[in-house]
Chains A and B, each alone.
Chain A
Amino acid sequence: MSKKLSALTIVLLFLLSMGSVFAGGQDDGDVKPIKFGGVWPLGDITGAQASKAAQLVVDELNANGGLLGRPVELIVIDSEFNPEKGAAAIERLATVDKVDFFVGGMSSGVHLGQIPTLKKYKKVTMWTGAASHVAENAVGSDQDWYFHLHPWDYNQGASYVEGWNDIAEKYPEISIKKWFLAYEEGPFGSASFEATKTLFADMQIDGEAFQSAAAGGGDYTAVLQRAKEYDPDVFIWAGYGADALPMMEQAKAVNFSPALFVGAPPGWPSDFGESKLAENVTLYGMWAPSLNIVSEMSKKFYGEYVTKYSEEPATYFAPLGYTSIDIIAKAVVIAGSVETDAVITALKEISYQSPLGETISFGPANVISNQGFRQQKILQWQDGVQQVIWPFEFATAKPTYPFESWK
């Protein structure tokens, strides 16, 4: 009996010790730090780099004496690409760590699970991910505390229309009448297709789904054959990085070479630029290292990141993560406090020069009131480097047209 009891005691002690860890918000002496709580998928390169970039701002603030004379702290929790874990992370940051601000975000699916919790606390929230309009509907209108940096799916679609019209106007030889969109069948691809179809309604447009390699697919021959028969001026594929090079190789195999070959993955494979097939592939993106030439902020961010982590930021989530903290810090300085209403007021009026090139200020989107970035950029792979070709104010190169056919 005594052994049983002692076993029971051990288990209870173990639970208690766990409880103390769970409940343990630590006290940092006399000056209470200003706390940022970040939730990203840390196992994924997007979330890992976004959180590292966010830490850069915190380090810099602390090196310069903190914010409002208080030290700054960033607490990052892994969302594990899982809505339940993502929501639990918000609960912990709010109630255990007692953070002042929420940052983070990548996948829409995780965000949907977090929104009810975020709404419960209504702290100033600066979101770097989630493009799905369903997530926007979930946030709903009149949520002043919610700031969304990443463009929504329809923002992206609209910016492409604008971009291509600009390009066609400036370079009359570029024809953009007939479109074909190959889209991965998940939420990302199908939302892209829906948005593009509505926005390009006055043009000839067709599309076909494919199963992304990220979801266990990777065979694009059917969709490429269809596209080839359709013979578009512009061929766009909306998939993931894993689709990039195989897509080119299979397009070459079926001898399909549209005048404009556009890829729209959220990130590219590390060695894509080394391939011969990459040359003159057009792409959608928000940031590339080539922006350093035209944007001081981008150069600063890039330099700091490479110095600290000795790796290149490989996805635009890195500069978005950087922005999420930096923009709140600037607003806190303006507001002179971390009080929610004051920071919201400051954020609504801020004009922020971002490491992604553009200077942003917040304004209403379809549903929410504080939308940051609305634009994507149109870039092109030239000599293994992503060059910006639109918006023209950030252009680092001229478009090469047409896409060289396979030789």
Chain B
Amino acid sequence: MNNKKIYAGTGIGAAALLAVFFLYTNPTVLVYGVQRAGIYAAIALPMALVLGIVHIVNLAHGEMMMVAAYLSYFISKTFGLDPLLAAIPTGIIMFFLGILIFKTTISHTLNAPELNQLILTFGVAMVLSQTVNLMATSQPRKISLDYVSSSATFGNVSFGVYDFIFPALAIVFLLILMYFLKKTRLGKAASAVGQNPRGARIVGINVDLTYTVIFAIASAVIGIFGSFFITKFSIFPAVGGAYTMKSFALVAMAGIGKLPQIIIASLILGVAESFVMSIPGGAGWAPMIFFSLIIIVILSRSFRSKQ
């Protein structure tokens, strides 16, 4: 217990020191780092939910986000909606699409080894991205939005402020998911199912329903994120793949089952990458920082737990 406090204390202290240092030397590092972290956290949270709470390995995570982004794009175009408003119908559609994907495929592998889920969802990912490719071609699409470029100027530095919507979104996701897991019956049931499905069944929890709902909620969250995604990024059929890997990495770094730690992991990665990129010639090394940090954190945690 004491040890834990010391670790936390040193961590917070070091973070505060770094923050002051960046604010002083190069404030944009912090600004962009936090914005970046928001994107990481928002997309990793739904994966943290399905992987961490009910232990479903979903390699189609990024592809589902891509499908949501396309849905949102076409909803916005057809009805002249702002993508941020289209997040609502997209989230609802994705909720049901999540149920569909879960019921037709993943639910049949719950008793099989995790690897079967892995390759099954790899197949799902392939079907999703290739179908979108057939229907919408590989040509990228992007809705042009004025508010995305809104900026603030301090002294002689201008920077975009719209992207702060991502950290805000991540916090909202986290709060909702935490509330759901801690305060609702279904959420508590989910934690029980995750820890011991057989035991949960014995005490009368509807295990299948719990799995389905958790996956559907995660899909809805992915759907909402997809709508936010198209405000900042172009979309194309292969856009999701990179986010699956990054989400996995983040969940592993945060520790499986630990949702709030996703935010911390994202902040560390976001600010570190942003710092490296602010150094001339540093852009090529940003992914190096990303993966090195993940390895270091995973290893150091394992060493600590062994002691």
Contact = CB atoms under 8 A, between A and B. Distances in A.
* In the complex, A touching B (Cβ < 8 A): yes
Interface of A: 43-45, 48, 185, 208-211, 213-216, 218-219, 221-223, 225-226, 240-246, 249-250, 252-255, 267, 269-272, 274-277, 314, 406
B25 to A, nearest CB: 14
B232 interface: yes
Nearest to B62: A216
Given A185-B284, A213-B239, A215-B242, A269 B233 contact: no
Nearest to B159: A254
B151 A225 contact: no
A242 B283 contact: no
Interface of B: 28, 32, 36, 130, 133, 137-146, 148-151, 153, 158-162, 232-236, 238-239, 241-243, 245-246, 274, 277-278, 280-284, 286-287
A242 B239 contact: yes
A253 B160 contact: yes
Contacts, number: 122
A270 B133 contact: no
Given A45-B138, A254-B159, A255-B153, A218 B232 contact: yes
B133 A43 contact: yes
B284 A271 contact: no
Nearest to A184: B283
Given A216-B243, A274-B144, 7 more contacts: A45-B138, A211-B287, A222-B277, A250-B160, A270-B141, A272-B142, A406-B149
B283 A253 contact: no
B148 A271 contact: no
8 contacts: A216-B242, A221-B159, A222-B274, A223-B283, A242-B236, A243-B234, A246-B232, A255-B151
B36 A219 contact: yes
Nearest to A226: B280
A210 B283 contact: yes
A208 B151 CA distance: 23
Contacts of A221: 28, 32, 159-160
A44 B145 CA distance: 27
Contacts of B143: 271
B149 A253 contact: yes
A254 B158 contact: yes
Contacts of B235: 242
A253 B162 contact: yes
A90 B148 CA distance: 46
A250 B158 CA distance: 11
Contacts of A215: 242
A61 B128 CA distance: 38
Contacts of A249: 144-145, 148-149, 232
B158 A269 contact: no
Contacts of A255: 151, 153, 158
Contacts of B153: 255
B140 to A, nearest CB: 4
